[in-house]
Structure 1
Amino acid sequence: MGRARAGVRLGADRLEDWRTPPAPVRAPGKLKHRKEGHANGRVKEVLGKWSVDHSQLLIGHRFASGAHSRLFHGIYNEQPVAVKFIRQPDDEEDAELAAQLEKQFSTEVTTLSRLNHPRGFYICAIKKLVGACSSPPAFCVITEFLSGGSLGAFLHKLDHKALPLDKIISISLDIARGMAYIHSQGVVHRDVKPDNIIFDEEFSAKIVDFGVACEEEHCDPLANDTGTFRWMAPEMMKHKAYGRKVDVYSFGLILWQMFSGTIPYEELNPFQAAFAVFDKNVRPKIPTSCPAPVRLLIEQCWASHPEKRPDFCQIVQILEKFKTVLDRDGTLDNMPSSICQETHDHKNWLAHWVQKLKHSHIMSSVVTSHHSVSSPFQTVLIRSATTCNFSYFLSSFFLRKERLAQLAIALLHLHHGSVLFQYTKCEYISC
């Protein structure tokens, strides 16, 4: 397998990387300037925290490149790393591109920094930030080195052949778990595709390239630097309001791609593919070899209406059931397709019971007053809960660390309470 592309945004040097046409320009206002000032302050804070000790950095040979970036093997603090250099164009007339490249650098380092666990625990399905530095017109991002290559390159080498079912489920679980954590932190990736899924030496999949990610509450429907057409959700193409479900749509296409062995809409160029999706509501034909339960999951993920797509926490639960049945029976053919729909409906059911639990003696014993919040970690359970839309209830409380276990146990007393707990227990253990 080839070397990892490390998920770097290589610029628009390939047809696949051309983005949507420029969106209408909106008049700048005071709010925009305040946001930009806040963002710049956050970038400076992140760069200060993740500053690079150049005496500990050794740069090796280049293994990938693009229009405005170069990737090198490196050693930092005696650990193998990937070193990405981004250089703004020298042409002063191309100020728009220069600003876009700087924005992508800032977005990537701030997002990767944000996704690091506040106590050093790092979600294994997301590429780890090691360091960053800024010296315009050059920028540098140092991350862990992943030697296994990208999912895109791996599928390309299969030459239109499907992956084994157990590999598909395993890779999909890695991606879904990583995305569930990303969404729990209020981040939308916006460019989930096989080239941005990289394997480590143990063939575990990791999510990379956060250059166009954004906070969900600040998703800009008029942005023109988001996503890649073949994996882009229709609401993004139409410049409509969108949120985390655009990543679920892209995941559905990745899942399909692992069964088909081809890129979506292979017979069309990217612009034709985009038109077919948002104007004709076209979707790729699912291979007959795809088990019925997986077929239903794919169709739910790429549903036209975002609200009909499952959350990633639900997708993880479905895939874990697939894995259990596959390990036991060696097939999913005898598994009812309705399992996907049942899990999709659990969210509203569980939310109803969590709301009732709010007024019970169990909840009163685990919820504390608004004072004594000394660490961002104390709200990590609340952040994770947003993945399953429980934030409308939990966000009104502050939880002390010693009460997190009790809250989790109380939820586990509910039928299917593990829907919430299983995505927070790893963070709780690191308390």
Structure 2
Amino acid sequence: MGVQVGMDQFAGLTERYEKEGWLIKESELTFGKVLGRGASGITYNGEYKGKKVAIKAYSVAILRNDADAVKNEMSLMATLRHPNIVGFCGLCLSREPLAAALVTDYASNGELGDALYVKNLFKKRGAEMRFDVAIGLAEGLKYLAENNIVHRDIKPANVLLGDDFSPLLTDFGFSRLADSSGNMTGETGSYKYMAPEVTKHTKYSVKADVYSYAILINEIFCEERPFESLLPIQAAVAVVKKGQRPSQKKLGDEELKKLIQECWQDDPDRRPQWSLIIDTLKQRKAVALEKGDGKAKNKNIMSKLGF
């Protein structure tokens, strides 16, 4: 019964998706291995009309208890089109065991976190890859900001890497449109990447994503998890009460370090615009490549640049 109630709540989306040709029959999907498990359900790799896809099958529990978050993600994904946002293929709705599923493009190089800490891809591919990922993420977040959308959960698990290692933003369950003033309230996201204004339950805007992005790219360039010795809630308190930020000891590029510091300032209004962030990163990438090929094999140059 609970599942059926959940399905009734999706009636409007079903009509819209059917009209747009985005409604996928369960029989058209081939399920492969599990890619990941989370609070909202299980993601599989699979196939749809001869194309590799990722299938996010929402759990019955989330459909029953938080259908709004699921509808929000489905609605947003259908409208977002950008090279640095995972591509939308369609939606599948049916009874158990597959109550509702979001079908997106398959990202062959997996999650950013695995690339950093399991596969060691950044060590193998060097500074050029770090800059390309940082720039691509900024481009994707700039697109969201231009559409007045706050992602609200920027972290390694929500960034995928495509065939060419280009970054793809994913997981829009927490994302929201800001109101007419550009502001929002309500705490959501992951504490270690959460902007202080979000933690404090004060009004926030698209600038909250700039803060989270700074924490993430500092992690990419330093290859060190933020606030590793602290529990998530302890990290949030340290940021708000003490102004603490992740270590930058491994980062030798002073201009890049300064950019990150500007992005994670307490005052959201003082955080830079995405266009400035992108331009600065491109400049720093050019400097890195000018001094070498940007690959990890050139250890002397890499150490001088702090990578």
TM-score (norm 1): 0.60
Q: Partners in 2 of 1:248 and 1:311 — Cα distance?
A: 8
Unaligned residue ranges in structure 2 (runs of 5+): 1-8, 293-300
Q: Partners in 2 of 1:44 and 1:62 — Cα distance?
A: 26
Q: Partners in 2 of 1:131 and 1:275 — Cα distance?
A: 40
2:122 counterpart of 1:155: no
Q: Partners in 2 of 1:85 and 1:208 — Cα distance?
A: 15
8 Å CA contact retained: 1:199, 1:205 = yes
The C-alpha deviation readout for 1:144-195, integer Å capped at 9, x for no partner, is 1111011111222278x97832222111011111111121122110111111
Aligned to 2:103: 142
Q: Partners in 1 of 2:250 and 2:104 — Cα distance?
A: 40
2:156 counterpart of 1:178: no
SS at match of 1:248: helix
The C-alpha deviation readout for 1:6-53, integer Å capped at 9, x for no partner, is xxxxxxxxxxxxxxxxxxxxxxxxxxxxxxxxx978745543332113
87, 92, 96: which one aligns with 1:128: 87
Unaligned residue ranges in structure 1 (runs of 5+): 1-38, 90-95, 117-122, 336-431
95, 100, 107: which one aligns with 2:72: 107
Cα gap change, 1:67 to 1:125, in 2 (>3 Å): closer
2:37 counterpart of 1:65: yes
Moved more, 304-313 or 326-335: 326-335
171, 179, 200: which one aligns with 1:238: 200
The C-alpha deviation readout for 1:235-255, integer Å capped at 9, x for no partner, is 000011001011110111111
8 Å CA contact retained: 1:158, 1:261 = no
The C-alpha deviation readout for 1:225-270, integer Å capped at 9, x for no partner, is x210000000000011001011110111111112322211000001
8 Å CA contact retained: 1:115, 1:185 = no
8 Å CA contact retained: 1:322, 1:332 = no
- Structure (1 or 2) with the larger CA radius of gyration: 1
Q: Partners in 1 of 2:263 and 2:174 — Cα distance?
A: 21
Q: CA offset at residue 67 of structure 1?
A: 4.2
Identity %: 28
Q: Partners in 2 of 1:284 and 1:175 — Cα distance?
A: 20
The C-alpha deviation readout for 1:268-301, integer Å capped at 9, x for no partner, is 0011111101111111121254300100011011
For 1:311, the aligned partner's letter is: Q
The C-alpha deviation readout for 1:97-152, integer Å capped at 9, x for no partner, is 8332x222111111111213xxxxxx211101101133477211100111101111
Aligned residue pairs total 281
SS at match of 1:84: strand
SS at match of 2:202: coil
Cα gap change, 1:316 to 1:332, in 2 (>3 Å): farther
Q: Partners in 1 of 2:166 and 2:228 — Cα distance?
A: 27
Q: Where in structure 2 are the equivalents of 1:11-410 lying within 5 Å?
A: 43-44=13-14, 46-48=16-18, 49=20, 50-89=22-61, 98-100=64-66, 102-116=67-81, 123-135=82-94, 138-157=99-118, 164-217=126-179, 220-222=184-186, 224=187, 226-330=188-292
TM-score (norm 2): 0.83
Q: CA offset at residue 78 of structure 1?
A: 1.0
8 Å CA contact retained: 1:174, 1:204 = yes
SS at match of 1:98: helix
8 Å CA contact retained: 1:291, 1:333 = no
SS at match of 1:149: coil
Q: CA offset at residue 312 of structure 1?
A: 1.5
For 2:226, the aligned partner's letter is: P
8 Å CA contact retained: 1:60, 1:73 = yes
Cα gap change, 1:190 to 1:154, in 2 (>3 Å): same
The C-alpha deviation readout for 1:194-232, integer Å capped at 9, x for no partner, is 11111112211111111110012275413x4x2100000
Aligned-residue CA RMSD (Å) = 2.7
For 1:115, the aligned partner's letter is: L
Q: Partners in 1 of 2:286 and 2:128 — Cα distance?
A: 11
